[in-house]
Structure 1
């Protein structure tokens, strides 16, 4: 199992400068690159200060100038906000500017608040239809001349300019939680991005079952990669869990505002909705958060990660962007690099040795 990190620029107060936000992101990216993480993922979002990323291709291009080997991925682009020709060209140019390190992650989109501004009249749930039309169109534009007549877009013969640096284009990743999306994504040869959200560890197996069924239903397709992401915080002492849990709970209330479109956003800053308005109260129980999310000492985190390894997850992604204090984000990356990743690297070496010996 390999490891990735999801990083974004976030502000929860106008007192925090963009200079500081950018500097924090760059420091974390450099730590991840030096530490041997496989991929940095960054999202697309608009009009909200808690996730500042109107064009992730710009951010990834910038990060590529300050890193040397780590892959750079969009997790995720919001399909309904893009024109296929524009997306194909911008992604291909980013692939060149990052020297072929781009990973292309896409989703239906998350926040109804955002849809109301970026794709008026479209319900967030409808985003999956845009995604299913958009991705094949982008792939064909990368390949050469292509004319499109669809439900959402129509255009005469055109092609992506430039073409991607990577042969065939960057690897495509699709965010999935429902069985239909797993099946469609794997059917077109895409890899899977998923998350158990704040659910108990059993949800890891549920998602793995959906992945495995889709793989079995498409024997004509090479097995894709399977990534899972959770909010992650690693600390020195077991008693240090309170701060991570507190920030996760508070961040969830901003998330509920944007997902349910039930709160107020002032000058880009969403208000945290009252606990009485949140869905899934068990997900806001401090002990459940501590247990379910990737919070713990290095030893506790290793035990939790074994569930992901057993489920066949190829890449575990640390979700660090939930208003966690910057110093704790840095500590998380360093503890993970120094005390967690070596454990799994050794397991991989042992597995390879057994395979070479015929076991």
Structure 2
């Protein structure tokens, strides 16, 4: 199992200068690159200070100038916000400017708050139809001249300029939780980005079973990769969970505001909705948060990560963007590099040795 990190510029107060926000992201990106993380993922969001990323391609090109090896991925582009020609061209240029390190991740979108401002107010659930139309169109534009006559976009013969550096194209990833999206993504040769959110451990196995079934249903397609992301905080002392849980609870209430579209957002800062308005109140129980999310000492984190490995997860992604203090984000990466990743690297080496011996 490999490791990735999800990072986005974020601030929860206007008192925090953007220069500090930029500096924090750059420091974490360099740590992840030097520490051997496989991929750095960054999201697309608009009008929200808690995820400052109106065009993730810009962020990735900037980070590419300050890193050497780490892959750079979009987690995720929001399909209804894009025109296929623009998406094909911008992503291909990003692939060149990152020297072929782009991982192309796309989704239907999540926040109804954003859909009301970016997609004419369509229901967020309809975004999946846009995604299913735009991905094949982008792939064809990457390969050469193509005319499109679809439900959402129409254009005469044209091609992406430039073509991607990676051939035939950058790896494609699709964010999925429902079985239909798993099936469609794998049938189209895409890998899977998924998350159990704040649900108990059983959700890991539910998502893994959806992946396994979709793979089995499409034997004609080479097995894609399976990434899973959770909010993550690793600390030195056993009582360190208290800070992680508090920040996760506070962030979760702001997240509910945007998902349910039930709170106010002032100058880009979403308010945290009252506890009474949240869905899935068990997910706000401190004991459940501590147990379900990737919160723990290195030994506790390894025990939890073994569950993901056993479920067939190819890449575990540290979700660090939930208003976790910078020093805790930094320490989490340091502990992964020094104590957790070597454990899994040794396991992989031993498994390969046994396979060769067999």
TM-score, structure 1 as length reference: 0.99
What's the Cα RMSD here?
Answer: 0.4
Query: What CA deviation, in whole Å up to 9, does each residue of 1:73-118 have, x standing for no partner?
Result: 0000000000000000000000000000000000000100000000
Q: In 2, distance between residues paired with 1:326 and 1:345?
A: 27
Q: In 2, distance between residues paired with 1:131 and 1:209?
A: 23
- Structure 1 residue 121: Cα displacement: 2.9
SS at match of 1:5: strand
Match of 1:254 in 2: 254
Q: In 2, distance between residues paired with 1:336 and 1:70?
A: 15
Equivalence map 1:272-287=2 (5 Å): 272-287=272-287
Match of 2:96 in 1: 96
Equivalence map 1:230-309=2 (5 Å): 230-309=230-309
Equivalence map 1:97-112=2 (5 Å): 97-112=97-112
- Structure 1 residue 238: Cα displacement: 1.1
The alignment status of 1:143 with 2:136, answered yes or no, reads: no
Q: In 2, distance between residues paired with 1:312 and 1:244?
A: 27
Match of 1:197 in 2: 197
The alignment status of 1:333 with 2:333, answered yes or no, reads: yes
Match of 1:353 in 2: 353
Query: What CA deviation, in whole Å up to 9, does each residue of 1:278-329 have, x standing for no partner?
Result: 0000000000000000000000000000000000000000000000000000
Equivalence map 1:21-32=2 (5 Å): 21-32=21-32
Q: In 1, distance between residues paired with 2:350 and 2:270?
A: 48
- Structure 1 residue 237: Cα displacement: 1.2
- Structure 1 residue 239: Cα displacement: 1.2
SS at match of 2:129: helix
Match of 2:324 in 1: 324
Q: In 2, distance between residues paired with 1:329 and 1:121?
A: 35
SS at match of 1:174: strand
Match of 1:123 in 2: 123
- Structure 1 residue 33: Cα displacement: 0.1
- Structure 1 residue 132: Cα displacement: 0.2
Q: In 1, distance between residues paired with 2:216 and 2:267?
A: 48
Query: What CA deviation, in whole Å up to 9, does each residue of 1:165-217 have, x standing for no partner?
Result: 00111000000000000000000000000001101111110000000000000
**Mean CA deviation greater in 117-126 or 26-35:** 117-126
SS at match of 2:340: helix
Match of 2:50 in 1: 50
Match of 1:176 in 2: 176
SS at match of 1:350: helix
TM-score, structure 2 as length reference: 1.00
Q: In 1, distance between residues paired with 2:342 and 2:299?
A: 12
Q: In 2, distance between residues paired with 1:214 and 1:240?
A: 39
Q: In 2, distance between residues paired with 1:81 and 1:168?
A: 25
Query: What CA deviation, in whole Å up to 9, does each residue of 1:118-148 have, x standing for no partner?
Result: 0113110000000000000000000000000
The alignment status of 1:132 with 2:136, answered yes or no, reads: no
- Structure 1 residue 240: Cα displacement: 1.2
- Which 5+ residue runs of structure 2 have no aligned equivalent? none
Query: What CA deviation, in whole Å up to 9, does each residue of 1:4-33 have, x standing for no partner?
Result: 000000010000010000000000000000
Q: In 2, distance between residues paired with 1:168 and 1:263?
A: 44
Q: In 1, distance between residues paired with 2:261 and 2:240?
A: 33
Q: In 1, distance between residues paired with 2:208 and 2:56?
A: 28
Q: In 2, distance between residues paired with 1:120 and 1:264?
A: 19
Report the number of matched residues.
358
Q: In 1, distance between residues paired with 2:240 and 2:158?
A: 56
Following TM superposition, the consecutive aligned residue runs of length 4 or more in structure 1 with deviations greater than 4 angstroms are: none
